[in-house]
Amino acid sequence: MSFNNNKGEIPFPYEITPLDPETNTDLLKYFHGERTGFVQVGPEKYFFPWKYKNSAEHFYNFQARPDDIWIATFPRSGTTWTQELIWLIANNLDFKTAKTEYLTKRFPFFEFSNFMHDEVKKELLEDNSDNPEKQQFIEAISEPGYELFAKMTERRFIKTHFPFSLLPPSVMEQQCKVIYIARNPKDVAVSFYHLNRLYRTQGYIGDFEKYWDCFEKGLNPWMPYWSHIKEGWKHRHHSNVLFMFYEDMVKNFPDAIRRVGKFLEKPLNDDQVEQLRNYLDIKNFKNNEAVNGKELREVKVLNDGEAGFVRNGKSDGWQTEYTPELRQRAEEWINKNLKELDIKFPETLV
């Protein structure tokens, strides 16, 4: 894909192609948050809503700063949990601000605007027509990250699900701190399934078996899963990148806290580690209104009757969703891909 380049920006290096019409029509029946269609990007065929077609170059040309801190994950890999950990460590355990200011403001989502279809945004504004403050919040979360972060004068904490190949090159050029979390695909698929049902911007109405079909074929945002993980893994030895497995974090969270502290050049004593461990314990975390999506639910971005934004945090919670047949299919798919990669997950996935 080519762009008119009048600002001296780097041309976007990958081809962006529309999804084939038959598959596109089928997906629109199940994902009601998108109204136009979907595109695939580059040789890995990364999957995005149509809106990305016109914003890709702007995201790619975003100018990172050396003191930016990025969290880059495939969705539902412990992102929110790790965001809060990063923010607290970098801000000297400022629990007071963490409790009173939403994480969506402290640590905004770089590319969320791609998922706010104009028609869905219009519906949300109408749903909140009696409350100007809520409408203002809708406008705020619809602003592209490349515009939002460019205006910030304070240190920037940036959440993204972009794979490394789609990140602005300036992130690595400026040696920004980047923390990448990987999580096993069975848990990711279940958690992302529930998130796709929860968010109106995704609006998924199908069952888990249909969703797994999309997951396996790379037909949901930021997929293919294995391509994303592979790119993160390849960057694990870069001095400005910390690669961690979610399963390791769950198994020994104090150790994970110390690793993040060391990486951010903010060493922690035992008392501080214990404070963070307790504050971020899943029982406390899922009820923390600063991180659990309360503000999104209040403006109706989140659907009622679905699982919460922060679920159970388990590293083996996938088992309840898979039928025996689907489990066998998933195991075969995982084993096939693991044979082709050198990634070693902390525990057996099957």
- Write out the catalytic residue numbers: 161
Identify the three-state secondary structure at position 3: coil
Q: Cα(248)–Cα(97) distance, rounded to whole angstroms?
A: 28
Q: What is the largest CA-CA distance in the chain?
A: 57
DSSP 302: B
Contact 317, 187 (CB under 8 A): yes
Q: Name the pairing type of β-strands 16-18 and 46-49.
A: unpaired
Contact 294, 117 (CB under 8 A): no
Side chain identity at 233, as an amino acid letter? W
Cα 285 to Cα 84, 195, 252, 291: the distances in Å are 10, 17, 17, 7
DSSP 11: P
Alpha helices in 201-322 (DSSP H): 208-217, 225-234, 246-251, 253-263, 270-279, 282-285, 294-298
